[in-house]
Each structure stands twice: as C-alpha cells, then as structure tokens.
Amino acid sequence: MKRKWLGRGAVLVALVLLIVGVTAGAAFAGTDPAPVFKTPKVAVGDVAVSLNLLWIIIGAVLVIFMQAGFALVETGFCRAKNAAHVFSMNFMIFGLALVGFFLVGYAFMFGGYSFQNLFGLDKAVGDNLVGSGNWVFLWKGGFALTHLGGIGKNAALGAPTAAFFLYMYAFMDTTATIPTGSMAERWKWKSFMLWAIFCGAIYFPLFGAWTWGGGWLAKLGDSMHLGFGYVDFAGSGVVHAMGGVAGLAGILVLGARRGKYGPDGRPRTLAAHNIPMALLGTFILLFGWFGFNAASTLGATDVRFAMVATNTAISAGFGAVGGMLWAYRRMGKPDPGMMANGMLAGLVAITAPCAFVQPWAAAVIGFIAGIIVVVSILFLEKRGIDDPVGATSVHGTCGIWGVLSIGLFASGDYGAGWNLTTSGPAAKANGVTGLFYSWDLGIRQLGAQTIGALTIIFVMGGVAYAFFKIMDALMKGGIRTAPEVEDMGLDRPEMGVLGYADFVTSELVLAGEDPAEDKVLAHAESPDPSIGR
Amino acid sequence: MKRKWLGRGAVLVALVLLIVGVTAGAAFAGTDPAPVFKTPKVAVGDVAVSLNLLWIIIGAVLVIFMQAGFALVETGFCRAKNAAHVFSMNFMIFGLALVGFFLVGYAFMFGGYSFQNLFGLDKAVGDNLVGSGNWVFLWKGGFALTHLGGIGKNAALGAPTAAFFLYMYAFMDTTATIPTGSMAERWKWKSFMLWAIFCGAIYFPLFGAWTWGGGWLAKLGDSMHLGFGYVDFAGSGVVHAMGGVAGLAGILVLGARRGKYGPDGRPRTLAAHNIPMALLGTFILLFGWFGFNAASTLGATDVRFAMVATNTAISAGFGAVGGMLWAYRRMGKPDPGMMANGMLAGLVAITAPCAFVQPWAAAVIGFIAGIIVVVSILFLEKRGIDDPVGATSVHGTCGIWGVLSIGLFASGDYGAGWNLTTSGPAAKANGVTGLFYSWDLGIRQLGAQTIGALTIIFVMGGVAYAFFKIMDALMKGGIRTAPEVEDMGLDRPEMGVLGYADFVTSELVLAGEDPAEDKVLAHAESPDPSIGR
Amino acid sequence: MKRKWLGRGAVLVALVLLIVGVTAGAAFAGTDPAPVFKTPKVAVGDVAVSLNLLWIIIGAVLVIFMQAGFALVETGFCRAKNAAHVFSMNFMIFGLALVGFFLVGYAFMFGGYSFQNLFGLDKAVGDNLVGSGNWVFLWKGGFALTHLGGIGKNAALGAPTAAFFLYMYAFMDTTATIPTGSMAERWKWKSFMLWAIFCGAIYFPLFGAWTWGGGWLAKLGDSMHLGFGYVDFAGSGVVHAMGGVAGLAGILVLGARRGKYGPDGRPRTLAAHNIPMALLGTFILLFGWFGFNAASTLGATDVRFAMVATNTAISAGFGAVGGMLWAYRRMGKPDPGMMANGMLAGLVAITAPCAFVQPWAAAVIGFIAGIIVVVSILFLEKRGIDDPVGATSVHGTCGIWGVLSIGLFASGDYGAGWNLTTSGPAAKANGVTGLFYSWDLGIRQLGAQTIGALTIIFVMGGVAYAFFKIMDALMKGGIRTAPEVEDMGLDRPEMGVLGYADFVTSELVLAGEDPAEDKVLAHAESPDPSIGR
C-alpha cells in the first residue's frame, strides 16, 4: 500500500509540474518588461512618526503576549487539579480588564496628557478631572475611545491615540493578572471577574495618572524639587509592585491554601505540577519584556531603546544566576522554580531603571534581585503568607527594589527634562541621576522614589485590601471557594471542565530536602462527582 | 561536596575576572579615541520602502507563528490518544502547502497584480491567465518565484515580491490548516497530505485572485457599482470563511466521530484533553493576529495599522467576554472552551472590517461574534455536524459575520479608492461606508459583501466538497480511518509514535452539567499492540 | 445563585456606564479643540539608523526566544523522568552563558571590529589582541560593556554597541544550548554550568572572531584569494555546526544512555515523551529563525532581508517535506520526530547561504537537508553515537552542508565586497558566487568554505573534546551522573523537583516497526526516595 501511495503522489507531483511548465512557459513567451524600482514620495517626518508608531504597536503586541507567559508560569507552579481554573483566569483577564480600561480607565489615566513630538499629536485629547497644575489626580477625555480625533479626512489622527491606548492597555493587563497567581487555587471565579473590571477601570489608572499621566507624583520635581519627580521608566512600580501589593492584599483576605501548613504550623511544599510549563512561561515573559521595556521609549527615533533592551537581558540573566546560586546555597539544589523567579526578579527590578543605568549596573541590580526574591519567598512562606507562585515577592518586593534602584544607580546620561521637569536642581541635569553618581541630585531622586514606593505599598495596597475585604463581605459565602471544592480541585466545580481530562493524576507533597518523606495526597482517574455543585 | 564545588566555581570566576582585568587594562592603556556617530547617506523614499517591507516581513512572521497556535488549540481540544496526529497535521501543513503555493499557487493568485507605491515596484511581474479587465479569474507569472526581477545589479528588485509572497503564503497556510481541526481524530494522513497541496496550489489562490488579486469580486464596484466591490481587509472571508467551509465540506464527507452521538442520537462531550494547551494556543493566535490584521496595510507608512491593531484587540476582548457570558447563561459554567472560541470569534469577525470601523464598532462586532460562535457550535452539534474544535463555527460562521459587518459598520473614514475603484458612487466616497453611516453607499457595499459571502459558501464550499468526495471515492478504503484505529487513537497506527509515551492516560466523556454521569471510556498504560498496522 | 450574580453584574455594569456617561459628558461639554497632526523634525540619516537598530533589536529578541524552542524540542524528545533537568539546562544557559559573554566573550570576538554605515559608529571601540592584519585571532575592548562610548551628552553612541552585543549574545546562546540536547539525560548539572560559562567566554568567541569578527578565516579572500574568504551569512557554521561538534564531543566523552543499546548491541527507541511539546518547540524555532537569518543584514535599509526571510521559509518547508518523505520510505510512517528534524535541518542548512541564493536553490538546499538529517541520525545511531534529540545531525551535519552549499549555489547577485575583500578575483565580482554559476569564482569560494568546515570539525571539535575530557578527569565522579540516578531520572536527584509531580508516568520503549514488542520499562506514581542524594 505504501508503494501504491508513493506512486499516486508521484503522479500528482508530475501533474503539478506539468501545469507549472505549461503556464510558466506561456507567461514568459511574450515580451514581459521587468518592473522598475520606484520609491514613494514621503516626508521624513512622516516616516519617523510611522516608525515610532510601529515600535509602539510591536511593543504592545509583545506585552500582550506576556499574558500567555503569566498563564503558563502560574499554572505550572500550581497543582494539576486547578490547571483549567488558573489558566482561565489569566486568559479572561484580557477581555474583562479590557472592558474596564476601554470604557473608562484609559480616560482617567491619560485623557488629558500627551506625548508631543513622538506620534504626531500636538496636544492631549482631554482635560483634568480631579486636581490641577502639579497636583492632578485624575484626567478625563477619550471614554470608550470615542474622541480619537480620527474622523473623516483626518483619520490618520486616530493612529497615535489608538497606539498609545493599546500599549497602556497591555501594561494594565499585567498588573491585573499578577494577583491571579498569589490568590490561585482558592479564589472564586465570580470574585475574580469583578477584580478584573475594577483593576482596568480604577485601580491601575489611579496610580497610572499620578505617575505616567503627569499627575502629582510625576511632578514632585517641580512641586517639591525632588529630582525629576517619581521616575519609573517601564513600570517596576506602576505595573509590577502595584500588582504585587494587590496580590498580597488578596492573600491576607483569603488565607493560606488547605494543607499548605502542617499541624505544627510549618510550611509544606505543594509541588509544582509542571516545570516545563512554568519555565516556558518564563521564557515567554522574557520575550515579551523586551516590548515592555525597550518600547517604553515610545518611539524608535530615541535610540536609547537599544541600551534598554540590552540592560533588560543582562539583568534577566544575572537575576537567574543569582536566584539559582542562592537556592543552591540555601536548599542544596539548583531549584528550577527559583531559577525562573530569579530571572523574573531581574526583569521586574530593571524595569524602572533600564533606561537610566549602565550595563554593569544592570548586572548588579539583576543579581541582587535574584537573591532578594529567594529570601523574600522563604520569608513570607514562614510568616504564613501563602503565595503559590511567589508573585508577591517577584513583583512586589523586587518591584520596590527596582523603583528605589533608580535613586542609587541612575548614571545621569539619559532623561534630561524627564516628567517635563522645569524647576529644582534636576532642571539643569543631563539626565536622571542616582546617589552613586551625585549626592545632591541622588538624594532628592531617592526621596521621590521612596515617596512613590510608600504610596504603592500603603495607599494602593489599602485600596486593594478594601476592595477584596468589601467583596468578601458582600458576596454570598465570601470570595473563597468551599473547602471540599478546594480539595477536589477548582476545575470541575468552577469551570465545568477538567484541565487534563485524559491524564491519570495524583497529588504530591514534596518533603523539603528529604525525598523519603514525599507523599502522594490523592490519586484520581476521573473526578469525584459527589461535590462542588 | 557542595562546598567543594562552590570553591571550584569561585576559582573559575576569579580566573575569568583576572583575564578581564589584564586584557581590559591592556586595551585601555593605549590612546583609544572614541568612535564618532555618523549616519549613513540614504534617500527618504528608500527608508520608507525599507520600513514598509520590514512591516510586511514582521507581519508574515507573526502569521506563520499562528500555525503553532492552531496546532495547540486543535490538539488541546481533541483527545490524548490523537495528540501526535492532530499536531502533526498542523505541523506538516507548513511544508506541504508551501510546495503547492510556491510552485503554482502564488502565480495564479497574484502573478499579474501589483501594489504600487508601497514596496517600490512600479508594475506587476506577470499577466492575466483567465479573464480580463474587470473580470479576471486567474493570473500567471512568478511560478516557483523564478521571475522575481531580482537578478544581478538589480537584486534589490527581488525584495518586494519575496516579501509579498511570504505574507500571502502565511495567509494561505491559515486557510489550509482550519479543516485539520474540523476533520480531526478520524482523517487519514495520506488524504490530509493531498488536501494540503491542493489548498496551496488551487483552492486558496482561486478565491484569492478574485478578491485580493484584483479579480472579478474586487471589481464589482467598477463593473456593477456595488460600493468598492468585495472588501475584505485581512481575510474574514478570503482566509477564515474559506477554511471554515472547507472544514464543513470535510465533515460532511467524513461523518461524526465514533461515540460522539449516543444510541439516542444526542451529542456527548468527548472531553478536551488539555485545557492549558488549548488556551495557550489561543493566546498565540491572538499574538499572531496582530500581524495578520495590522500588517495588512502592507506598509507602516499607512499609519492606519495602529487603529487596526487596537480594533483587533478590542474585538478579541469583547468576543471572549461575549462567549464566556453566553456559555455561563446556557451551560451554567464559564466554559474555558467557549472563552477561547469567543476570543477567536471576535478575531475572525474583525479581520475583514478592522481598518474601516471605529473602536466602538469593533467592540460590538466582537461581542456579537462571541455570542454567535456559541450559538453556532451548539446548533451544529445538535444537527449531527461533529466538529471537534468548533472550527466551522469560529472561522466559517464568524467569518461570514465579519464579511457582512463591513456593509453595516464601515464608517467611511478609510479606504478611498479601495480595489482601485474608479466608477460608481463609491469612486467619490471618502472611504468604505456601511449601512449605519449611509443608506445609498451602505446598501451597495452590503450587496458586494453578500455576493462574496455567497460565493464562498456555495462556489468554494462546492469545490472543497467535490475535492473531498472524489478523494474519498478514489482512495482505497476512503479518506476516513478504520473504526479500530479510531478507537485506539490515530497516533500509533498513522504516525508510528504515541503523543505522550510516558504518561498513563484514560479517556473521559463529560456528561454535560452532571459530573456524576462522567465516565471513563478507556484506560491505557501502553498502547494496544494488536491493531492498526 | 447564578441569577443573583447576574443581577449584581448588571448593577456593576450600570454603575460603570453611569460614571462614563457623567464624566464623558463633562469632558465634551466644554470647547475642546481637536489636536493637530505635527511631525517631529528629524534627519533622514537618523531615521535610517533608528530603523536599522530596531531591526537588530527585534532580531535579537526573536533569536533569544529560540531558547524556548530548544528547551521544548529537547525536553519533548527526552523522557518524562528527565523533563525538569533537560528544560532547566536550556533555561539556565541564558544566564550562565551571558555572564561569560558579557564579561569577556564579546570583547574577544568583536572588540576591534565594526560595521560602518549601518548603526552610526564610524570605527571600532577596541583593538586586536592576538594577530594582526589579515591574520587576527582575537580582539580586545568593551569588556563587561564598560567602553560603550555612550556616556554623558553622547549617550546615543552607546546604542549601536549595545544592540550589536545583544544580537551576538543571542547567537552565542544558540551554540551553547545545542550540546544540552546531545548530552541530555546523563549529564551532571555542575558540569553543564561550567560548559555554559566556557562557551560564552571562549568557545564561541574564538571561531566568531575568526569569521564574523573579520579574523583570519574571513580574510582568506584577501590573504589567499579564496573567493570572499569564509562566508557564513547567519551561522550554519559559526553557530550551528559549532554547537553540533561540541555536542558530538560531549557524547564521545559521556557514552550512550543506559538501555539505549540492547544486549545484542542494536539500538532501541527510547520513546519521546511529548510529541506536541517537541513540535511546538520546532515552531518556536522557526519563528525565531526569521530573526536569526533576516536580521543578519544588520539593518533594514539593506532590503535583502526580505529575500532572506522568504528563502528561510522555503527551505524550512522543503526540509520538513524531505524529512517526512524519507522517514516514510525508510520507516513506513511519517515520523513526527523526523518532520521536526527535517524542518530544523532545512533551517540550519539555509542559514549560511540564505542571502546569496535564489528561491529555487533554497528549496533544493532544504529538501536535501531534510533527507541528509534522517540518513545522518540513523547512521550515527547505528555507530553507537547516542544523541537523544538528533542535535548532532541537525546542527552538525546539516550545518556543514549549509556552509558548503554557498560554494555551490551562491548566485552572484548579492554580497559585493563581503568580508571587506579587496583583492583576488572576488574583489571585482558582483556578489558571492558558487560553482553552479562560475567555475573560477566558485571553486575558490568552495575552497574557503571547506577550510572553514574543516576548522570547525577538527580544531573547534578538538577544543570542545579537550574541554569535556579534562572536566571529566578533574570532576569528582566524572561529568556523567551515577547509573541509579540515570535509571530513576535526573529530576529529583539533580534538580530537587520532579518535572511532572502530579502525573502518573511510565517509561516506554518503542520496538521499531512492531508495536507488539513495545514494552513499559518502569512505572511511577511518586519518586523512589531511596536514591540520588
């Protein structure tokens, strides 16, 4: 039969080639003058705008792809019985948070703020809503993107706002998805949905308006002569620490997973169910992070993006090495989970300073972050904070470290006029400068960074805690799933399907350094049908 | 031993740093004048062409990566016992369909059509083969890319054709891979191979020449004053509905999978074996779709690509929300499969109108698509159409919805002169316009869209049905695998390997809303060696 | 409860829309003059440099993402019991090899070599360390990127070096990761770590300096009139064959895996544990390869990148078809592993010639590579060379084929002045030319390619063999894991975790063409705790 088929294949190929021959022959028989190269007529300024917009869009697309990375990392670090639930949260955040950000969030955050000379728009599309001058708290304008300025003959005007919206949406999505890791394996779907909309509509835009939107934190340089005000190039604070403190707030409301702490109160390792999945997710995050950081120049005509990309890679690499070596030292093995968290820690930490530091500093910042993250994870675990994926440490702790590191390592080579700062000592500086390069500029910058960090931890952390606490009180049965649902796994009761319907699964608890004490908690060929509805 | 190793590591690092020190010292000891920044001399038109070609290539690469997304979605939604077979089809389509498209397909589709002022070519490399004027049916020229015009000193001339070929190849691949989902778990590998070549050589180029190739459907505006003729920005119809109807034709020839319908004729849920895999695939498709839609401006100097990207994201998000909410309502759970299909539905639907509508319309189109896809899946399932992954509904039904939506929502801001239309009322319009913006222009445009949709369903659907039917009659034993092969799983008999050799698998049938009725159909630690050879 | 929740959701949506309404109304009530489109003032040369740097960075990011592809391919082709170990090696190579390349490797390779007129730098940042003129062996300058030239007001000067560093780092990483496949399932973690640093600091930069760094192999055209000297556009030799011979050297030191060869000495198939994972990895490699090859023009203003991308896709497709058909012929089934290796073979082979050949030649080179790789895998397996993933054949054998193919197929249309060649017959040629286009130029070019290939195999292969052999002698217990660790799987003993903690796994040996002889070697629900510490 094999040979018969090969014969038929040969006939088909012969037939195709016959068609080629005949038609190609016909085509080339006549005189067919070759085309001539002719370039379009276009102004150099327009090409520059096109190039900048393209970089923003590519950056946005890379950041959006990070959602897949988050989904894989979080799901891989959790247990098989919750795989569909954890992944689905990371999936639906895309749509649910978009609804909130599209309808109102973007307008609150950027409605009255513009980036001149980059995309082609000469002014903002909206105005301030709460506050004014150096003390703006919220903007308005461009709700549901209805006021793009891109109608009729001026359709091209819509492009800059559309591009910037998409890029900012992608950042918001990252903040929104971080708590799905911290709160995984015990969080009700319905409660998750409300968080997603809340984060897109209010939580992220609030702090966003204060910083990237030119609000009161950004203007601390002008208003209080604190360096260039709060500086956060791509969001160690605005995006990551914001997500980290929200996740921590959620953990405080939810409590630890059943079985995480033994009767003696000591933490157990509820084993990650899929290491390749978690590491693949980390690679996808690394990949997308280049869009996150390097495209935050908001245009390719600012060639600093190349230095940003390189600093990002260096910090990621040194972070992974730092995390692995520290895990080796503390746990006796080069733990893959700590490699992944070490790389992510390096990425989170370099996100704020990536444009302002030299490569050697990126290596140092990343290496320290890789160590910090392991220390933080073990510390929080001991204190009863049960974060299944370490998101609080990766995004929260290392996000704060990234924010502060600007005040130490910024080399003063880049960022003149940052945050449109026009008064104070920074107004004459060549770039954002940290303590290691200048005492006077550095201490002021470090002050602004510290105010930003404290605002994230206490103000925004408080907002998130209040949100979860109120929801827990109002929602029937609270925001945590029932104990029997948690034991069975959330997949069938919450999502209606199993993550891995065809695989026989067990549930393993690793016993720290001693494999002889590992034990299988449960074993399932098909789901227990008696619970969860 | 640990400490010993750490000691050795320290020695190594010290050694490396020594080398650094010595050589770096040597390097910087001498006078080493720093380099100076010097930009190349280049004409602005050439930079614009370079930028446009770069966008096309990046777009093509993103679309090619969508193959991985299709493979994951389809495999994840099928059962573990067919994983290697389903994934391999999505893998080999890349090579097999390329052979057909490279040798003849591209020449049939675009041999005589060119896009001036974008890439630098002033005219097409070929001529028409069947038809002429406003009624061209097939082109010729550029078979096996032998006539690029890029030889010798004019090598740069080859770049535009090469770039456009790659981009169009990637679209063709999408059409070709859609039926592998609809026909999965019961389709013979040999039959699949012939489809792949046929689709690349004939099926896709045929409708492609009629639309994007400037053929008779594209010229309905000039020939019959139907708006701008058939308009389909990135291929809701040309790519997706084309794939959807081919898949439907295949299902009609193959019949339903064994066990899909109970003795009472009611459909059962043959459970998706890997939800994380399917959702990861959906994210990859989302990621690649930005290349699919936004790069369809065929150049970054047309900044409309930014609006296209944003509309794409909005429709995807609202589609996912629509699909989830409708599934919640109908099935009682936020089904992950319906989330994924909802997002894909939003993406498919916005593909045709993405450049012509405002963001609010993108939200509406996507949301409706998310509902339509759930309705369509449940409807077809009840009618005995067994589509394991819902591809017919996602790409077919929602593709048609996308094509028609242009006739409703197009805002008239973009697309002046589309399809090189020079006569009829559209010739003076500012852009493609739908019924909600202008009655006269809209009804004509809707007419052209309807003719295109009907052509896809009846003409191209007929071509696909005939192809599968004839192949089924000619091939020994038909195009469907033997029942015992289907029960065992296609992996070992068809591909020679198991998808998951080391995992113990079972086979689960979900009982709708009642988990108490779930049952395990089969259980395997190693394959049954007695069948399939 | 469902309806209650839907009610609450409705309330929330109503609330949100209320906010929208009120604030949007407020925003648009006042006079709000729309913004005006205003493009930045920028010189065309600066836009060109920005565009070129952007292409380099995007290329680097794509190549970095290939790490995920390698990890998936290698892990998928190995057994479940080693999944965490194999994936972790591919993960940590990123950080470990970066340390070596960042501190010294880049300076050795490129410290004294520059690419003028592309990025804006007019000269190199360093000087030669060993050798001079046409016979340079190593460079110096830019250790730890401390001498970027990008300080203070001239910060933009840092961008070109940073971008080029990142791109070259990504290539180095590919070379470094290839042996992790060849040596998988029996290689100690500690030994792996030293290799990673060694490859980044010395192994890759050495041959890199000789070729892409303008060293003695690159100057064979000027020094010995051998065409344009050793030509290797994107690294079939510099990257892939280099990795392939290192992997082969490692195999020779390690020996075959336990159980690979039966008592009769005949090879057994230790089944790949996850086909979808391996094929997904191949797709990711394909995706990243467009950055690997097409961005090797080092700038988008050289539009040849479009032809490069298209040739890459064509060769990949024909390679997959070639591999599948040859496997069908030899093994009776369209083996998915051979499809994947066929595509990778096509990609590896086209990497060197991709810019210099016509599309038809890309098809031929790829198709031949697809066949070669199957022949090579089966040949080596029979000779006792146990390469679990076929990396030696894919990267080694097909890398050499790619290097040599330039001497045959290069069409003479591109590459005038390559390697800054100024003397010999090539100095007047229109481009790199192979034997099929010119006897005189071709035989000289083929000579240079052959010298390069022999240098890789014997000189660099010797360096790698010596490195592994010395390490094996010095390290306590050698570089191979203990037999009981190998039987149990390396995950728990070496990494401290299991790859798939929650899945019940077995271990399957496929019996060639006869499934009746397949047998399960081991079965595990939880790890055997008695060994490996």
pLDDT along chain A (533 residues), means of 10: 52 57 47 62 90 96 98 97 97 97 92 66 74 83 72 66 94 98 97 96 96 94 96 97 98 96 90 97 98 95 94 98 95 94 98 95 97 97 96 98 97 91 91 94 97 98 97 95 94 93 80 61 52 33
Q: Least CB-CB distance to A497: which of B310, B336, B506?
A: B336
CB contact under 8 A, A306 and C159: yes
DSSP per-residue codes, B276-291: HHHHHHHHHHHHHHHH
Cβ atoms of A69 and A285 closer than 8 Å = yes
CB contact under 8 A, B62 and A61: yes
Residue found by looking up tokens 């080639």 in the block = A17
3-state secondary structure at position B116:
coil
Residue B74 to residues A79, B84, B338, C68, Cα–Cα distance (Å): 24, 11, 14, 21
Min CA distance, B156 vs chain C (Å)? 6
Is pLDDT of B515 > 80?
no
CB contact under 8 A, B496 and C334: yes
Cβ atoms of C90 and C70 closer than 8 Å = yes
Rounded mean pLDDT of B504-533? 59
Burial degree of C29 (CB within 10 A; 0-12, 13-18, 19+): exposed
Chains near C with 3+ CB pairs less than 8 A apart are A, B
Q: Least CB-CB distance to C166: which of A2, A47, A313?
A: A313
- The token pair at C493 is 């003993």
Rounded mean pLDDT of C426-446? 94
Is pLDDT of B363 > 70?
yes
Residue B160: list chain C partners with CB under 8 A.
306
Is pLDDT of B521 > 80?
no
- The token pair at B238 is 């040309």
DSSP per-residue codes, B219-271: THHHHH--TTSS--SS-IIIIIIHHHHHHHHHHHHH-PPTTSB-TTS-B-EE-
Residue B319: list chain A partners with CB under 8 A.
95
- Predicted pLDDT of residue B532: 34
Kindly report, residue by residue over C151-184, the tens digit of the pLDDT.
Answer: 555 556 688 889 999 999 999 999 999 999 999 9
Cβ atoms of C321 and B99 closer than 8 Å = yes
Rounded mean pLDDT of B323-345? 95
Interface test mutation site (partner C, options A62, A119, A293, A307, max chain C beta carbons within 10 A): A307
Packing angle between helix B44-77 and helix C275-294, nearest 10 degrees?
Answer: 180
CB contact under 8 A, B287 and A61: yes
Residue found by looking up tokens 């040369």 in the block = C45
Q: Least CB-CB distance to C277: which of A276, A300, A316?
A: A276
Residue A18: list chain B partners with CB under 8 A.
none
Kindly report, residue by residue over C464-504, the tens digit of the pLDDT.
Answer: 999 999 999 999 999 999 999 999 999 999 999 999 999 98
Rounded mean pLDDT of C404-421? 94
Could you tell me which residues come within 8 angstroms of residue B168 by beta carbon, excluding any fewer than 6 positions away? B101, B106, B109, B110, B208, B212
CB contact under 8 A, C40 and A519: no
- The token pair at A328 is 């080796």
Rounded mean pLDDT of B494-498? 93
Q: What is the DSSP code (8-state) at residue B37?
A: B
Predicted model pTM: 0.94
**Percent of chain B whose pLDDT exceeds 90:** 72
Could you tell me which residues come within 8 angstroms of residue C181 by beta carbon, excluding any fewer than 6 positions away? C70, C73, C74, C77, C86, C247, C387, C388, C389, C390, C391
Q: Least CB-CB distance to A502: which of B80, B127, B284?
A: B80
Q: Least CB-CB distance to B20: which of C44, C104, C123?
A: C104
Is pLDDT of B512 > 90?
no
CB contact under 8 A, B50 and C303: yes
CB contact under 8 A, B159 and C306: yes
| Amino acid identity, position A269 | T
Rounded mean pLDDT of C362-383? 97
Average per-residue pLDDT for chain B: 88
Interface test mutation site (partner C, options B47, B91, B121, B188, max chain C beta carbons within 10 A): B91
CB contact under 8 A, C274 and B495: no
Q: What is the ipTM of this complex?
A: 0.93
Is pLDDT of B127 > 50?
yes
C-alpha triplet B262, B264, B269: angle, nearest 5°: 35
CB contact under 8 A, C318 and B26: no
Min CA distance, C273 vs chain B (Å)? 5
Is pLDDT of B462 > 80?
yes
Residue A274: list chain C partners with CB under 8 A.
499-500, 502
- Predicted pLDDT of residue C137: 84
Q: Rounded to a whole number, what is the distance in angstroms from the first to the last CA of chain B?
A: 53
Is pLDDT of C136 > 90?
no
Kindly report, residue by residue over C45-100, the tens digit of the pLDDT.
Answer: 889 999 999 999 999 999 999 999 999 999 999 999 999 999 999 999 999 999 99
In degrees to the nearest 10, what's the CA dihedral of B296, B299, B300, B304? -50
Q: Is A35 left (phi over 0), alpha (psi -120 to 50) or beta?
A: beta
Is pLDDT of B162 > 60?
yes
Identify the helix (H) or strand (E) that includes residue A210. Answer: helix A204-210
CB contact under 8 A, A37 and B413: no
Kindly report, residue by residue over B195-233, the tens digit of the pLDDT.
Answer: 999 999 999 999 999 999 989 999 999 999 999 999 999
Min CA distance, B282 vs chain A (Å)? 9
Q: What is the DSSP code (8-state) at residue B111?
A: T
CB contact under 8 A, B24 and C107: yes
Binned at pLDDT 50, 70 and 90, residue C119 comes out as low
- Predicted pLDDT of residue C160: 86
Q: Least CB-CB distance to C413: which of B30, B57, B150?
A: B150
DSSP per-residue codes, C24-63: HHHHHHS--PPP-B-PPP--HHHHHHHHHHHHHHHHHHHH
Pairing verdict, β A411-415 and C269-270: unpaired
- Predicted pLDDT of residue A528: 43
- Predicted pLDDT of residue C24: 52
CB contact under 8 A, A332 and B146: no
Mark out the alpha helices in C439-482 (DSSP H runs).
439-454, 461-474
CA-based nearest residue in chain A for residue B119: A39
Kindly report, residue by residue over B468-481, the tens digit of the pLDDT.
Answer: 999 999 999 999 99
Min CA distance, B120 vs chain A (Å)? 5
CB contact under 8 A, B273 and A151: no
Kindly report, residue by residue over C296-342, the tens digit of the pLDDT.
Answer: 999 999 999 999 999 999 999 999 999 999 999 998 899 999 999 99
- Predicted pLDDT of residue C37: 66
In 3D space, the residue among C251, C249, C241, C243 whose CA is nearest the CA of residue C184 turns out to be C251
CB contact under 8 A, C334 and B57: no
Residue B514, strand partner residues: none
Is pLDDT of C25 > 60?
no
Q: From CA C20, how far away is CA C309, in angstroms rounded?
A: 47
Residues making up chain B, counted from first to last: 533
Rounded mean pLDDT of B321-349? 96
Residue B272: list chain A partners with CB under 8 A.
497, 501
Kindly report, residue by residue over B266-314, the tens digit of the pLDDT.
Answer: 999 899 999 999 999 999 999 999 999 999 999 999 999 999 999 999 9
- Predicted pLDDT of residue B31: 41
Is pLDDT of C28 > 70?
no
- Predicted pLDDT of residue B513: 56
Kindly report, residue by residue over A247-296, the tens digit of the pLDDT.
Answer: 999 999 999 999 999 888 899 989 999 999 999 999 999 999 999 999 99
- Predicted pLDDT of residue B231: 97
Rounded mean pLDDT of B123-141? 80
Q: What is the DSSP code (8-state) at residue C295?
A: G
Q: Least CB-CB distance to C102: which of A6, A314, A335?
A: A314
Q: Least CB-CB distance to A54: which of B154, B300, B476?
A: B300
